[in-house]
């Protein structure tokens, strides 16, 4: 899960800077204590949920 969260954060940061360059929410952000105690997953669903949540937060719109 930690690797998925790190990849998701990088992809969200890149997509947000491409779509909204003035939005710097993720520009200098780092991940800490991501999903402590979460069960490992071998599928992309967790990453999809995380990126949707991060981008929704950044653009202040619900998905």
pLDDT tens digits, 29-57: 777 656 656 666 656 677 788 888 888 98
Q: Classify residue 39 by its DSSP letter.
A: P
- In which element (H, E) is residue 45 found? helix 45-59
Better-scored residue on pLDDT, 47 or 24: 24
Does residue 19 carry a pLDDT above 80? yes
**What are the structure tokens assigned to 9, written together?**
């954060």
The phi, psi pair for 5, rounded to 5°, reads -65, -40
């Amino acid at each position: 899960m930690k690797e998925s969260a790190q990849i998701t954060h990088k992809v969200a940061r890149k997509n947000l800077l491409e779509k909204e360059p003035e939005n710097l929410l993720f520009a200098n952000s780092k991940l800490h204590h991501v999903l402590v105690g979460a069960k490992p997953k071998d599928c992309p669903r967790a990453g999809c949920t995380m990126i949707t949540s991060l981008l929704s937060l950044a653009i202040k719109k619900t998905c």
